[in-house]
Structure 1
Amino acid sequence: MFEDGASDEAERAIPPELADAWRALPAALTEDAAVYSQEMAAEAARASTIADAHRIDALLFAYERAMIDLAVRFGSSYGTRAGLGAQAFFRSFGLQNGAHPAAVAGEVDAGLILRDRLPLTWRAFQAGKASWNRMRTVVREAEGLDAEHWAAYDEVAAVKVVSSMRLKDDLRKARARLDDEAAAKRARTTHERRRTSLELGHDGGVAFVAEGLAADWVPINDALHRAAVAAHGIDGETRGIAQLRHDIALDLLRNGLQSPATDGALVPQRKPVQVQLILTVPALAWLGKTKEQAQLTGYGPIDLETAKALAGTATSFIRVLTDPITGVRLTMDRRVYAPPADLARWVKIRDGRSRFPGSTTPPHLADIDHAREWQHGGTTDSANLVTLGRTDHNLKSAGLFTEAVEDDGTVGWNEAWGHHFSDPPNDPLDPAPPELLPPRPSDPDEPCPF
């Protein structure tokens, strides 16, 4: 059954507690068991693919019925993919099923392309012949094709998605044969989708990601590496090349943002902005009496040592102290005196994020919204103001969602189809332990000494 030496290797792979039973089995029986188990796993994979096909089919049905409903109730523009109605559906469906709205939108878009433009490939998916991940690859590689090439691409894709072990390469070759201008179109699409993002990591870390054309970023990456190598050769420099690359890039971004745009800049109208930190720190922890962590707005908890280092080096620093008894935010450095801006800043610090359920939009990229609309009697104060991402704000203003702030700070949301969702308030920092608090007065009627 085994090649020379393979039997020993197989035995080493068996857990010790099963070794005796393994040796007692006839070789033919173990081979049959291995074949059978692989067949069972393959059958389970096919069943999973068919289940995915049913899931995507049901999702498309729900999406299209929702668009018809919103077009009837709110107007035709709300029933289009580009309208607010589609965004409302993606958010509602995502909240009901634990999915990000962008993931729901991506599945709807891919499913519609497969069903309506690539019917042969869609049938292979429904038959369980290829996974949903491979279907997504087919859709991605079709970007940029002109309408007259879709049918021919579908014929190739329906075969390759089932049989090819180099699916992406094979589809790219097929696309190039069908439409030699597709590469240029895809490059234009890549340029239009250029963006930066911040991916939150662990232990106080993040990844700053810039997505754009290789022609722009490859030379910058090369220049960054050469600058790091040159700095590494200076006497007394102890940082590694990777660390120097990071620090040089950080210097360039920080200094560039705080300086006016230069001639020939991609955004010549850009104004200098100050890099700003907002730290929430328990008052007793700042004084060294407790060990609670600080909170960096836009990220989350960081250790106090790092917080103090940031506070000591930041060119602009807003410090928020918390009440040592309740953990509720107590005071804020008053650097901005105009009341509207000051109140908006306080609300964003308090909320720490957009208050739409599941949203991760940081407060500095969000709007300030009246939970109860101003025209309906809502007041402009901290009890009625919440932080809200721009799209979510637009959905609420259009009447596709309604919100209400509860007494404990929870924001309740209702959507157009009657589902209710809630967003709890940002967690307050831990209050000080009882042993560090002053004793309570023995007489409850005794006046407060301060």
Structure 2
Amino acid sequence: MEVEPYTPDDEWIPAVDFKDFWGSPLLGTISLPLPSFLSADRALEMAEAADRLISWATAMRFRALGRVEEAIAEEPIERRAGQPERLGGDEAHALAVAEVATGCAVSESAAARDLHDAAALLGDQWAVLDALESTDISPAHARVILDQARTVPAEYAGKFSRTALTRIRTRQGRRTPSELRTCLRRLREQLHPETLEARKAAAHAERGVWFSPEPDGMCTLAARLPAETGLAIFNGLDQDARTAAAHTAEVGTRSDPFTALELRTLPQLRADALAARLLGTPDEAVNGSFRPEVVVTIPIGLALRPGQPSAMAENGSTTAAELEGYGPIDAPTALRLAAIAPTWHRLFIDPLTGAALGVGRTAYRPPQALRHYLAHRDGRCRFPGCTRSAAACEPDHTTEWQDGGTTDPDNLALLCRKHHALKSIGAWNYSHAEEGHLTWRSPLGRTHCSEPADRGRPRYALGPPEPPDIPRPPDDPEPDHPDPETDSGTGDAPLPF
């Protein structure tokens, strides 16, 4: 088959011609490059452009959904004579939910959630909507901020979200939604006007275990537990699973090389370990009581003030402890865990620089004290966007040992097995920057920044002083509540991408 020669006109094609039906408000044409002619780097740029389009369209959708419920509430509801008011007086909302569900072909629960989000975004969460419309954030980022903002008192929700928007970007780009969720959980703990002890006491009433039947003889068992209890259970099951996996692989390889190919996954092994613990299912690789390791990082000032009910500093910032794999925990829980800990691990640091002491070229494997320091500093896999916990990672020599690299903190980083392999083969590489940051370079020549763990750096509480607002154009004053009629983001303004 003969192929016609490539011409420059073939590079661009109209991706969508928005003339779907008569009277539709969606009109115009968007052109994108033809992917088959693009390099990997240009194709990635096209995907990024599509993401910006999705962000803008999502913002427009929320503005429209907010107007649906508002317009329905403005009109008198038709009803038969003598019919009483129903649905607790919230008939307009119920009508809006039904209209959105049927018009957008989604479930009523999804429609109700979207309308709830739209009301928040057109109200005290207007800054999140502005950022979404200007394509500074993705819909997933907006979802993370909304979810976290709803866990603070209503009068602080708007301030929290505007502060959260300043945490989106790192030195080299945006955080992933997973990274942002971890960051905002810590931010919420540090900025919440109520003490962590008081909130935990109130949340303790929500503990429970739930059973949901599933098809094919299966079920889902869910539990809401104190973080230290749940993490101890999970770590114990994970330890059992890894022990069983290693045992099965060893036996299978020794007896029949093909048996090793039929290994259970770690989630499957954790489920089997749970059954073994609860029901006594025989498994030679799982026995005895749980002895999971729970790592708690406790500031020295907190350890020296065990009698105080709170760890609030004078400037309003917290010095609460950190439960590895979860995040900040209240002071009494941290001290209780410390009291029952079988051993203590100390971090040896340079008194002048504060950096952990390395061993240079005297040893390839980092000693246990240095491993604990790396877990505290990195907190997770240091590949950009990866959230694998430090317990599932391996120390990597930035400059390889065989190339003269040292076993020192400024030449070590924790990487999960997958990203350790990508670095080891030379596909990705990184260098250390100041304050524990890593600068990564991708195979396409792109640079990305990875931050160290945020271990409760001092910040102001959600009262005064006012957190920084998102910059707005000088001729666009900050509204208290955007008016959908005048601040719809539509009209003749150019698209933001």
Give TM-score, length-normalised by structure 2: 0.36
User: Which structure ranks higher in relative contact order (CA pairs < 8 Å, sequence separation ≥ 6)?
Assistant: 2
Give TM-score, length-normalised by structure 1: 0.40
Return the index of the structure with the highest Cα Rg: 1
